[in-house]
Amino acid sequence: MLLKDKVVIVSGIGPGLGQELSTLAAKEGAKAVVLAARTAAKLDVAEQEINALGLGTAVLKVVTDISDQAQCQALADRAAAEFGRIDVLFNSAYDPGSFEPIESASMDGWRRAMDVNFFGTMYLTQACVPHMKKSGGGAIVMIATMVEHKPLATQAGYGASKSALRCATKHLALELGKYNIRVNSCHMGWMWGPSVEGYFSWQAKATGKSQQELIAEVTAQHPAGRDSR
């Protein structure tokens, strides 16, 4: 098991990847999973999913807006106080920003995305690093995006915030390696779930195409050429 007896924090708990990461952590043997999101009800659902596995995984739920540095510090300190250590941090919380062309985009939307995706992630990372150092090491995983590498219409603000995070991730890996703390990023592709389903629904209304037509266009870009839903 990859996470046997580890204490794992997952930010951005919701109906998509954050929830999947939390249940996967439990399946991989985590001693405790610390759930963080702005909405308490989403934390409750994730807790139920973990408990349903019957593995005896301890769960700590902390309502957290990661764009607030004090809340990030409180989250990390509670996790360490409850379980004695922090071994793994999954930075999964994000804000998609505003879906607009750059020439007419609201910079307020860009700032909101940057406050969560970049600064918020940095706040939470900073809060966890001292605890990882104290326990002799750890792992930090940034949930990045394919939009950093392949532009997607109207997602420039989101892509820019994640690109800034990618740069910081490289520097963090250099700074923290000597403390036995690994820092990596995962650049996710299309994963069918509430967020992606919502995007295709929005695109269908904006373009007049059916969702199936839009999905077929994306599928055609994949080397395997198949819809993996």
Break the chain into its structural domains and give their ranges.
Answer: 7-189, 192-229
pLDDT in tens, 48-67: 999 999 999 999 999 999 99
Hey, what are 132's tokens? 């990882």
pLDDT at 202: 58
Statement: residue 228 has pLDDT above 60? no
Statement: residue 229 has pLDDT above 60? no
Mean pLDDT of 24-46: 97
- Whole-prediction pTM: 0.84
Whether residue 59 contacts residue 47, with contact meaning beta carbons closer than 8 Å, is answered with yes
Statement: residue 34 has pLDDT above 70? yes
**9/21 Cα distance (integer angstroms):** 10
> In this predicted structure, which of 80-89, 121-130, 144-153 has the lowest mean pLDDT?
144-153
Domain 7-189 coded CATH 3.40.80.10 = no
User: Could you give the residue numbers annotated as active site?
Assistant: 158
> In this predicted structure, which of 1-15, 48-62, 63-77 has the lowest mean pLDDT?
1-15
